[in-house]
């Protein structure tokens, strides 16, 4: 289930987890609320942007090469990220970088 924004006829706006096909949810005022055509995400991608599809492998190899120079493997870095994922009460996931090892 994803998080979607809903707005009712009375103008109330709220966010709720809903299925992909759920177009309408009940507002606290009792009116049906329609899902917004766009919804926000709970994460921010910062830094280098993703490359065009054909270049993904080349960029991955470049990143893995940089990691290898520091004594890491790409697989080990990904495993470190996976072990550092935490989830809050609303079900949003975050990476706790404090749990990640600083050295290879």
Q: What is the pLDDT at residue 38? A: 65
Please state whether beta strands 85-87 and 32-35 pair in parallel, antiparallel, or not at all (unpaired): unpaired
Both 28 and 58 in one domain: the answer is: no
Domain that holds residue 9: 2-35
pTM exceeds 0.85 for this model: no
Q: What is the pLDDT at residue 4? A: 85
- In this structure, is residue 62 part of a structural domain? yes
Q: How far is 50 from 56, CA to CA, in rounded Å?
A: 8
Parts of the chain with a pLDDT under 70: 38-56, 99-104
Domain count of the chain? 2
Q: What is the pLDDT at residue 33? A: 92
Q: How far is 43 from 21, CA to CA, in rounded Å?
A: 23
Q: What is the largest CA-CA distance in the chain?
A: 59
Q: What is the pLDDT at residue 46? A: 59
């Amino acid at each position: 289930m994803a998080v979607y924004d809903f707005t009712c006829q009375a103008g109330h706006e709220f966010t709720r987890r809903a299925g992909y096909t759920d177009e309408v949810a009940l507002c606290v005022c009792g009116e049906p609320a329609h899902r917004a055509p766009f919804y926000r995400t709970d994460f921010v991608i910062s830094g280098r942007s993703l490359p065009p599809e054909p270049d993904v492998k080349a960029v991955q190899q470049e990143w893995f090469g940089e990691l290898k120079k520091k004594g890491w493997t790409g697989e080990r870095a990904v495993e470190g990220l996976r072990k550092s994922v935490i989830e809050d009460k609303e079900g949003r996931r975050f990476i706790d970088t404090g749990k990640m090892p600083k050295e290879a």
